[in-house]
Amino acid sequence: MEMTVKHPIMLTVALLCSGAALADGTVVDTVYDPYVNALEKEVEYRLVRTQGGRSLHRLGIASSLTDRLAVEVYGLSEDSRMGTLEGGELEFKYQLTEQGEYFADVGVLAEYEYEDADHNNEGSLTLLAASAWGAHVSAANLSLGYENRGALADEWETSLSLQTRYRLRQWLEPGVEFYAGEDYRGIGPVLVGTTRLGVAKSLRWEIGAIAGLTDDSADYTLRLSFEYEFY
């Protein structure tokens, strides 16, 4: 869902195709905005790939249920088993404030994920915030999650994701992202763009390359997403 926001928070250019990787503990993914657009529907594809790990693919469909609440369902698959559904994810996003009502617009995201191979279950709650000053737009996601890891010990997890970008053109918005998790710190460039495909139809894309900042972090993580939005 398209992000139309207000103010810079943090720090973007890359190239991604396919390959090998999603290491345990990585938090690199989409930085969400808090907005829900009434009547909007969406088909989304995401790829996240890290050095020395695996590639994780997500294919999802989303729909707004009201002008404040949206739901999205994903299927999950790895590169090594493309075409095989290995898990699923369910998301609910609720927009808490009217856009422009306060300095920052706020929402909340509730997620549940199941991985069939490891019998892992994970639930999380994420606070979403976004703001803008002129052509600079920024978003922040602060998450608290609980993971049931089958035979391994269950654990609580926290993460922080930040994005800031400049609206150079509708089809080109360069920016920077920062990610922090229990065993991960990373920062890097991102490119975002939206192409109108006709009345009430658009294609939004994001491509980013995140460099690890600590010894425990993957040297690089690449991410790619496409969203086809329509009403």
pLDDT tens sequence across 120-150:
899 999 999 999 999 999 999 999 999 987 7
- Does position 75 have pLDDT exceeding 60, yes or no? yes
pLDDT (average), residues 68-84: 85
The full DSSP string for 129-175 is EEEEETTEEEEEEEEEEEEE-TTSPPEEEEEEEEEEEE-SBTTBEEE
pLDDT for position 25 = 53
Strand partners, 33: none
* Cα angle value 69/130/147 (rounded, 5°): 65
Measured in whole angstroms, how far is the alpha carbon of residue 194 from the centre of its chain?
16
Do residues 4 and 114 touch, judged by C-beta distance below 8 A? Answer: no
HSE, CB side, 13 Å, CA atoms: give it for residue 28: 39
Please give the share of the chain, as a percent, with pLDDT higher than 70: 85
Least Cα distance to 194 among 164, 223, 162, 226 occurs for: 226
Q: Mean pLDDT across the chain, nearest whole number?
A: 87
Find the Cα–Cα–Cα–Cα dihedral 112, 116, 117, 120, rounded to 10°: 30
Per domain, the residue ranges of the chain are 41-230
pLDDT (average), residues 9-24: 32
Tell me which residue has tokens 């006709």. 198
In this predicted model, what pLDDT tens digit does every residue of 180-225 receive, in sequence order? 998 999 999 999 999 999 899 999 999 999 999 999 898 999 999 9
Please give the share of the chain, as a percent, with pLDDT higher than 90: 73
- Does position 82 have pLDDT exceeding 80, yes or no? no
Terminal-residue alpha carbon distance, the chain = 12
- Does position 16 have pLDDT exceeding 90, yes or no? no
pTM of the entire predicted model? 0.85
pLDDT (average), residues 47-71: 93
- Does position 179 have pLDDT exceeding 60, yes or no? yes
Class of domain 41-230: mainly beta
Do residues 108 and 126 touch, judged by C-beta distance below 8 A? Answer: yes
Do residues 178 and 186 touch, judged by C-beta distance below 8 A? Answer: yes
pLDDT (average), residues 81-102: 90
pLDDT (average), residues 37-45: 97
pLDDT for position 151 = 66
pLDDT for position 12 = 30
pLDDT (average), residues 158-164: 98
pLDDT for position 115 = 84
